[in-house]
Amino acid sequence: MKAALDILEERISAAMEVVAGQGDCAAIVRPATDAKFGDYQANGIMGLAKKLKTNPRKLAEEVLKNLDLSDICEPPEVAGPGFINLRLKTEFVAGELLEINKDTAGLGIEKTSEPKNIVVDFSSPNIAKQMHVGHLRSTIIGDCICRMLETLGHKVIRQNHIGDWGTQFGMLINYMLHVHTAERMEGVFGTKPEDVFILEDMEQLYRHAKEEYDSDPKFAEGSREYVVGLQRGDAQVLRQWKEIVDLSLDECQKIYDYLGTTLKKEHVCGESFYNNSLPTVVEDLRHAGLAEPSDGAVCVFPEGFRNKEGQPLPFIIRKSDGAYLYATTDLAALRYRINELKANAIVYVTDSRQKLHFEMLFAVAKMAGWTRDDIELSHVMFGSVLGEDGAPLKTRSGENVKLKELLDEAVQRAMSVVEQKNPDLPAGKK
C-alpha cells in the first residue's frame, strides 16, 4: 500500500504542474514540525513561485483550487507566505491501520521500485573467544537493518566478518601442540569422545599461550612459523585451525539462535577468506601511486585526515615486518563486495570507536577508484555498553562480560518477575 506522504506528494505536484503549465514541480511534502499545523506541510510552492516570479501565497491558493484531497485530508489551509498545511482525516488513518493489520507479513509497507543489492557487515566476533556483551549491539542492530531492508524489497547479503586469521592462531596451535598435555590434546581434536573440549577451555588456553608468547622468544618464533604454515596451506596446521574455527562458530551460532537473529553459518566470510588478496591490494595501491613507504611500513595518506599535530594521518596497509592489518583486509573485502557480490550499498555496523577507520577506508577506496558515486558506503555506529562507573562494562576481575552469561541472567530475572506477578501461570506460558 502507498504511504500517505507519497499520495500527497503526487497529487499536490500534479496540481502545481497544472497551475504552472510545466512539469517537474515538486510539492516537497514533509511531516509537520508542530501538530497544531496539521500532520504534513507542502513547502514546494515557495520555490515554484520564485521560478514563476509570482506571489507564493496566491499561487498556493490557485493550487488548492486544482487539488482534491477530500478522501484523505481535512480541507487544506494556506499558511504563512505560501505553505500548505495538511491534516489527515481520522477515518482515512483508521482505514489505513485496518489494512495494515490485515497484512501481517508486510505491515502495509510498500516495496521499493528500485531494489538494490545491499551488503550488511555486522556481529563479527573473534574466533577462539566467547562472544561478550560488546557484540550484542552490532548483532541486534545489524539483524534489524537486514530485516527492514528485506521488508522494503532489497536483496540483503549478510556478512559476518569474523576474526579468524593472524598471529593468535599460530600462537594457539603452537601452545596446544607443544605445551599442553598430549592427553588433553586428544580432546581438543575430538579423538577421545568422552573428552569434550569447549570454547571456555580454548579461551583459557589462549590466555596461557599469550603469556608464553610474551615471555618466551623461542615460543614466539615457533608461533610465527605456524602462522607461515597457515598462510602456506600446510595440511596439518589448516586442520587444527579449522577445528578451532568450527568450535567457535558452533558456540556463536547458539548465541545467534538464542537471540532469534537471522545470522547463519553460511553468512560467515571472515578475514581468512581475503588472505590471498592482501598482497594484491597493497601492490595495486602502490602502482596507482597512492601507497608509499613510511618508517618501513606501507601507507596511504588520504586527503583531509590529520593528527593533533596537523600532520597527515596514515592509513597503514602493511607493517614494517610485512604483516597486513585490518585496514588491508577491509579494503580487500570492500573491493570483493563491490566487484563480486555486485553491492549497490555496503553497511558496516560497529561501535563508534571505529568511526575514523571507516572514514579513512571509504576515502582510500574512492581514491583508488574501487567504489563509485552511485555506491553508498555507510557506517552505522553505536556507543559502548557502560557499567555504573561510566566505563565499558567489565566483570569484577576486569574481563569482558560474556554474552551468554548476560542473556542467561536476563532470562532468569524475567522469569522471577513472571513467577512473582503470575504464580499460577502454566509453565509453558512463562
Report if residue 99 sits inside a domain.
no
Give the pLDDT of residue 196: 46
Report if residue 265 sits inside a domain.
no
Name the pTM for this structure: 0.81
Report if residue 172 sits inside a domain.
no
Count the domains in the chain. Answer: 1
Q: How high is the mean pLDDT in each 10-residue block of the chain (430 residues)?
A: 91 96 94 93 95 95 96 96 96 92 78 96 92 92 97 97 91 82 48 52 84 93 90 89 92 95 97 95 97 95 94 95 92 98 98 96 98 97 84 70 91 93 84
Give the pLDDT of residue 398: 66
Residue range(s) defining the domain that contains residue 35? 4-94
Report if residue 272 sits inside a domain.
no
Report if residue 33 sits inside a domain.
yes
Give the pLDDT of residue 301: 97
Give the pLDDT of residue 180: 58
Give the pLDDT of residue 190: 46
Report if residue 258 sits inside a domain.
no
Report if residue 10 sits inside a domain.
yes
Give the pLDDT of residue 397: 60
Report if residue 111 sits inside a domain.
no
Give the pLDDT of residue 265: 95
Residue 82, domain CATH: 3.30.1360.70
Amino acid at 133: V
